[in-house]
A and B are shown apart, each in its own frame.
Chain A
């Protein structure tokens, strides 16, 4: 990388203040970190969701770079069109910018679920763009419904914790792994606490020779019923408990565990993470002790498997 992190941190933010996301929301921080990694002219294609809705309430916009939203499930398809239009116009000598980066952004709902087909199609076709999912673990914009990105045990308004249900029962879809299975040049998981790691990886994604994918963890105090001052700490805790391990996958085959995860002697118990949020409170009732233990077991199994893939002992 030619540019130093120090210089990246000096970049003018791409998102203005007064963007109308909730107090303590990590998503604007995620976007600002993304902005620090940019290498030049960039166009953003965004899916419907909290970030889109809050930052572009007409006649205002918080975006300082070209930005388009069309619908919920099609950010990757819109980005395909943007990329190829630029290519075609450049082929015909009608495009002035030497190089324009295209980034698609979607929430976990827009990426794990409804936009998954469009994402997979765009990756398979190989358009040169970066797709970033900001994963806040539910459909927050529509009032905290479960998604494929929701953790087991998480209570949402469509996976209630009740007398006979512990919140969501199913595992979280291993999206980064599924994306890596497309054998695209670059996949990475990031979080806003480890900002150096985030910016460095995002720049790598932009510089990849083909499609790249960034899975950004993005705490949501409104939906998670967590302290608005603790969002960035929760991101750190998610890494340290193994709920959101940090790694890269190159060409779908070379797995590299990132420093913050690699340096962990052992994972902290998931309970420490669960305790911080109202959405997991019910798990500490005696009737869900076994279920909670199952979640912990699964996280440890996944962690071992990831270590094996990354060649970490």
Chain B
């Protein structure tokens, strides 16, 4: 089956686009273009206006000023229906799938059926199989979407666009949720599409990805284009500087600290996962005060369930969790929080924040019943204002005001808000799951420095991340989790990429040494 480009797009150009939101100019006279066969990367800090610009192109927002040209001719894009008609497709930062429907039904949604008013899911499935064959996008058309892993869901999103014959594909942070192997596979697909004449717009915070995949890069800062460069003529350092507006350290300073007694102790922990099977199988760990223990491993190997069990969101079926010697197994989250536990969840929208509350309300969420936010049963609004203002300043949270609904913040700023809330409580134990996923390099640098600074505060930190660089830069010791078990714990100095890689594939330390 050959390429279904039903639309011919030679070039797409955005001219002088302006978009204002209450308190911010998200796009400030932006010029941007992409040609057939080109992969054009869009780079910028959290809140720089990347998603906004792409939503304008896709017809989800209307620009206040400016125009869009396709093949040199101005076009009106009033809704996604228009842009699909014109041959545009978008993979959204947060997936747009209907979990209760099958893959084929998700693809067929909104399309004309070959059988008139009746659904033609068999036909769709068949074409879908052919398409996934062509592009190496493995997915079962009859599977229900809720059963799919994130990587598979993303393939469905790409197939949805390809199926509609999209000639231009916008990918908004497609790699944020993928494992390194999946990123490699995605890149193969993207290169193939470009070679066949598709235009691609690629958004990512990871500079090495941008350098590896794109032909040109446009850097946005505060809604404005800083510069458009040829990828071949630039470097990681230059891009980082353009993005952040200053030199960025790509490595954190780690002062030596004296570790204390074990603060978080986990003994033979068993936790059941969503599918009803044990996800954590007899894990034992110890983290001393002042220490960061990193857990590496491909996600889905029990890391999330481990974190949720410690945070009191999931009851362990067996085993013990101790904080400073006190048995806290099965405690409610509220009680754990009062006893010095802080949790940065990887599911930031589900477990981390309330989208419909304001920035201020989210900042006081966990402690609204206590000083400094409350006096007796009353909220102390004066203290709340000064305290939250301080948190916003200290953690460089970019928001128009304290009263802005949280949903209007960009992803990275939401993450900084969670960090601000969790760290200002001076936690004894901190669980940080994927703390910088989808976060720009400036904020990543900042979050990393705050996590390292917690060591001096004697916090015991459990850091869970799929990003091996992050784990190796921050951790004092590194454990690898595989199929619910700890494959071994390495001292920072011994943790070579090779050793970690083998452990992530299920080879334990002992067998590496004996073999």
Asked if A pairs with B, the answer is no
State the A residues within 8 Å of B (CB).
none
State the B residues within 8 Å of A (CB).
none
